[in-house]
Structure 1
Amino acid sequence: MKPTAEVLQDLAQPSNVAVHSNAELAGDVSATAAADDEKRKTDDLAPLRRKPRLLAVPAKDLDPSVQLTAWDVLHALGRAITLSRRGAGRGLAEHWGCLKYNQALTGDSDSFMALTSEGRDTADYYKALQSGELGTGFALTLATRLLRRRYPDHFVSIVSADTALRAGWALTSRDSGPKSGYRYRPQFFAEVWQPGAASRVIPIACKGNHSGLSTSHTQLASASAHAEAVHIGVWNETPSLVFSTELPLDGPLAVHLLESGGDGGWLDAPPRTLDHALEDENVFPGIQPPPTHGTEPEEPEPGYHVKPERYAWFQHALARTAAASLTAFAGDGRATTPYLTKRQGQRHFAGLTHAATDSVQDARHQFLGIDFVGTDHVFRLNRRRVEAFSGVAEDLFRHLEAGRVERYRHEVYARRSTWPHATWDPGWNGPISVHADGSVLAMRSLRH
């Protein structure tokens, strides 16, 4: 068992992560998808509708090896699961789930990141959960880096796809409205935006495994079907990113990445005022293909289609959902409630919570010269009491708290390149991660 101080130092230590994306990978995934379709036919099942073609990401957009800290990956995971509604905390403390992996990863600047002995032991019992959640953290960290390089004059926001889509579609039998009956969906959207301009939205499907490369081929083929389930604008022109993170028990991890091309995904419409509340819509499910014989419309395919008349509404939904995710990450249920519609889970942030699962925005700390407000969590790490803090830069949080989404977006866009990159705060004496959206995740030992 490592001393707690050493665990905290390891979390802040940059390490190398291999990124695998080339024509050979794309060919292997295509062959895996074709084999799966043949098997489905043999089993009297319809082949899955997937992205027509998956491509390698050009080397100029993402290096084959990148340096990350485990703490930054956990920060990305914590932000991603804030609105997941999977635990008994009714959403108010979902993000603390990322902390269960604070001893799962190891590496340094001279090596590639891999699982620790604890990570390997956990995989024996919770293989799918650990690989899926860590895969999400790595995928979203790399997706953000890739898109920032491609769109240097834009901001990149990661938004929960289920939460955003629920504002317009009934995803499950429990949701009100016309039921989609389709279980394939991307897990996230990347919104690439500038204030007052059209956004570009890129579906992201990500998976993870503790098995090997052949499993990653299968996962990427499956992820292609999930990414295909959302079309924005013209049929088959919505770009997407698909990831499979391979976390072997006996070697370094690798992130396998492919993309689908296309000129779509742009929400090109006069923008709404984002400060106004969002209402649930009842969009009829299905993706409308173009006519192939004469002028008769084809039957809709299963999925979710954002048509031009819905562009402004969808941009509104994405911005409000991203705001809700930030205020929930800071532990403020009262500030989160106005940003969500009833179907998106507004009541999960408005009612009473179970004992020991709540999160309250009542903590304040300064990191690297910036004042943050948020929530804290005290627990034991290797028998030592530690404190975790999650929050948002105070000036930006006050805008969100008051419902000023437009003001928040203008200011965070202007500051997108100014945030510190340090991984350790000496005054706090622990690992720290600050993201461009103004959020922070930090942890330190407490005195006995």
Structure 2
Amino acid sequence: MSAATDRILAELADTTRVHVRSAAQLVSDADKAAAGIDRERARKAENKEEVFRKPLTEPLPAAEREDLTLTTWQVLGTLARSSTLARHGQGRGLAEHWQSLKYCRAMATPKGAHLRLSSSGESPEQFHRGLQARELGRAFGLALAERTIRLRHPDRIIATIDAEAALLPGFARSDKQPTLGAWPRPDYLIEAWKPDEPSIVYAVTASGNHQIATPRTGKAQRTTFRQLARASERVEHLHIGTWNNTGCLLMSTELLAPGGITVHALQASGSAQLRNAHLDLEDGSDIDRRLKRSLQYVDTVRVPGPEGLPREHRHNAFLIPVKELSWFAQVLAATGAAGQLAWTGAGREISRYLTAVQGRHRYQERTFAGAASVRDAHHTFNGERFVGTDQVFRLDGQRVEAFSGMAAPLYELLEMGKVEEYRRLAYERRDVWPTGTTAPGWGPTSFRDDGTVMALRILPKEPAVRRTQRIR
């Protein structure tokens, strides 16, 4: 057994801290970056249309600015869970897992210090640099966003859903390959849900960068501030119910900040709620008929004029009208269920939850050999049977197994289309899952209150097979 691999697994399971920065000065700095972006656009004549941003962004409340305390493995689990419905086509299984597992050696925790990039993480291959910034930015940004929403709604379970996947049933363009095009939008929606109560929804953006800022770096050129300014544009293009009623969290992660990895965060207040709408999908249910809509994007949002002035205007945005709040609740429930099943490696079972424009056919087709997520693994943690999928790869030459799964009773309910029963059982059992960062026989583990787990362990060396007879 490799000592180097043992050390890496131990570091992945060690609790560490990540800086969080959110203050009034950050709002001012992001505003200066926004003004610089607008000047650049004016010079290049890139966009003649008026640019809209959130009318008011603020720092997080003081109680939500504490350092993140978590393990590196939990960060990677956050990234992996957020990409379960990414459109990886026939290589989806390998892509979903490897998106997070490739960063097992990218971070390090010097003794007594905050989490930072390791030497290999600081110097990725040039073509990989942008990818690392984007993916680790999402991982840390989402980790902070999820903690923030848990603090605000401790009596609820949260579900992180890719915003494009959630918006496609209502807004997909009628091309051969339906997409949302280049329309600005947030990265994720986070639903805080509780059985029989309206869900609360937040829009989230999460970016990252490798810039090394110096005292001579102007506010308008600071990548973090520019990312927050652009994030304000993107979340302003999504409104649930009415204009400016959707809570938003804007995150930008500096991976090379001097004191260690630092997440910069702003918020825009809002209290968007969906109408409670039960969703159960029996065999043969027509999900397209139930969830497909043709909602408008152009000039949908009515924005009031400045205070004291009667003039108002309209701008383009994804608007979920009040009359469609029950529909959108079902879209999020179905898309969230599909993501949970994908996490376990399910295949055709997922297709009952996705419309055609969301890529249902991808889960009805066979995948390439060796590249599929297949729900054929099961392990027991703390006396509870978990079912899911695994991938085996090498870490410093040592074979290791990564397992992602869900408690078997919860999986069985989703497999049968019983979303409401799943939510009730998941909510009832949200406090029973292990809270440790390791498990017997495993290295780092990450359990969540929705009954899912991600775990890693070293595989024993395979014994040499002695040929005892000649193969004729």
Q: Same fold (TM over 0.5)?
A: yes
Q: Does residue 389 of structure 2 align to residue 375 of structure 1?
A: yes
For residues 142-192 of structure 1, give each alpha carbon's deviation from its aligned partner in whole angstroms, at most 9, with x where no partner exists: 11111111112222111111111111111584445xx86543111100111
- The alignment's C-alpha RMSD in Å is 2.3
Q: Within 5 Å, which residues of 2 pair with 1:356-375?
A: 356-375=370-389
Q: 1:402, CA displacement in angstroms?
A: 1.1
Equivalent in the alignment of 2:51: 48
Q: Within 5 Å, which residues of 2 pair with 1:167-316?
A: 167-170=169-172, 173-176=175-178, 182-212=182-212, 214-248=222-256, 252-263=260-271, 265-267=272-274, 269-275=275-281, 277=285, 278-279=287-288, 280-286=292-298, 287-290=300-303, 300-316=314-330
Equivalent in the alignment of 1:68: 70
Q: Does residue 418 of structure 2 align to residue 391 of structure 1?
A: no
Query: CA 1:413 to 1:270, structure 2 compared with 1: closer, same or farther past 3 Å?
Result: closer
Equivalent in the alignment of 2:432: 418
Name the aligned partner's letter for residue 258 of structure 1. Answer: L
Q: 1:93, CA displacement in angstroms?
A: 5.2
Equivalent in the alignment of 2:7: 6
Q: 1:248, CA displacement in angstroms?
A: 0.7
Q: Is the 8 A contact 1:104 1:116 kept in 2?
A: yes
Q: 1:110, CA displacement in angstroms?
A: 2.4
Q: Is the 8 A contact 1:15 1:110 kept in 2?
A: no
Please give the alpha-carbon distance, in whole angstroms, between the structure 1 residues aligned to 2:315 and 2:50.
13
Please give the alpha-carbon distance, in whole angstroms, between the structure 2 residues aligned to 1:135 and 1:217.
14
For residues 100-153 of structure 1, give each alpha carbon's deviation from its aligned partner in whole angstroms, at most 9, with x where no partner exists: 101111116722000111111226441110111111111111111111111122
Q: 1:227, CA displacement in angstroms?
A: 1.2
Unaligned stretches of 5+ residues in structure 1: none
Equivalent in the alignment of 1:439: 452
Q: Is the 8 A contact 1:85 1:94 kept in 2?
A: no
Query: CA 1:91 to 1:388, structure 2 compared with 1: closer, same or farther past 3 Å?
Result: closer
> Could you say what secondary structure the match of 1:361 adopts?
coil
Q: Is the 8 A contact 2:301 2:317 kept in 1?
A: no
Q: 1:334, CA displacement in angstroms?
A: 1.7
TM-score (norm 1): 0.92
Of 165, 182, 196, which residue of structure 2 is paired with 1:163? 165
Please give the alpha-carbon distance, in whole angstroms, between the structure 2 residues aligned to 1:172 and 1:299.
27
For residues 70-90 of structure 1, give each alpha carbon's deviation from its aligned partner in whole angstroms, at most 9, with x where no partner exists: 100111100001111146514
Query: CA 1:370 to 1:270, structure 2 compared with 1: closer, same or farther past 3 Å?
Result: closer
> Could you say what secondary structure the match of 2:393 adopts?
strand
Please give the alpha-carbon distance, in whole angstroms, between the structure 2 residues aligned to 1:252 and 1:385.
30
> Could you say what secondary structure the match of 1:39 adopts?
helix
Q: 1:281, CA displacement in angstroms?
A: 1.7
Q: 1:24, CA displacement in angstroms?
A: 0.6
Name the aligned partner's letter for residue 420 of structure 1. Answer: P
> Could you say what secondary structure the match of 2:297 adopts?
coil
Q: Is the 8 A contact 2:207 2:253 kept in 1?
A: yes
Name the aligned partner's letter for residue 62 of structure 2. Answer: A
Q: Does residue 331 of structure 2 align to residue 351 of structure 1?
A: no
Equivalent in the alignment of 1:400: 414
Q: Is the 8 A contact 2:442 2:457 kept in 1?
A: yes
Query: CA 1:234 to 1:23, structure 2 compared with 1: closer, same or farther past 3 Å?
Result: same
Please give the alpha-carbon distance, in whole angstroms, between the structure 1 residues aligned to 2:111 and 2:156.
30
Name the aligned partner's letter for residue 448 of structure 2. Answer: H
> Could you say what secondary structure the match of 2:373 adopts?
coil
For residues 406-447 of structure 1, give each alpha carbon's deviation from its aligned partner in whole angstroms, at most 9, with x where no partner exists: 01111112222332221111x223111011121111111111
Q: Is the 8 A contact 1:29 1:221 kept in 2?
A: yes
Name the aligned partner's letter for residue 437 of structure 1. Answer: D
Please give the alpha-carbon distance, in whole angstroms, between the structure 1 residues aligned to 2:403 and 2:358.
26
Q: Is the 8 A contact 1:399 1:405 kept in 2?
A: yes
Q: 1:338, CA displacement in angstroms?
A: 0.7
> Could you say what secondary structure the match of 2:32 adopts?
helix
Please give the alpha-carbon distance, in whole angstroms, between the structure 2 residues aligned to 1:94 and 1:174.
25
> Could you say what secondary structure the match of 1:347 adopts?
helix
Q: Within 5 Å, which residues of 2 pair with 1:324-335?
A: 324-335=338-349
Equivalent in the alignment of 2:32: 31
> Could you say what secondary structure the match of 2:170 adopts?
coil
Please give the alpha-carbon distance, in whole angstroms, between the structure 2 residues aligned to 1:298 and 1:181.
27
Please give the alpha-carbon distance, in whole angstroms, between the structure 2 residues aligned to 1:109 and 1:383.
26
Q: Which has the larger radius of gyration?
A: 2
Q: Where has structure 1 moved over 6 Å in runs of 4 or more?
A: 296-299
Equivalent in the alignment of 2:112: 110
Unaligned stretches of 5+ residues in structure 2: 214-221, 462-472
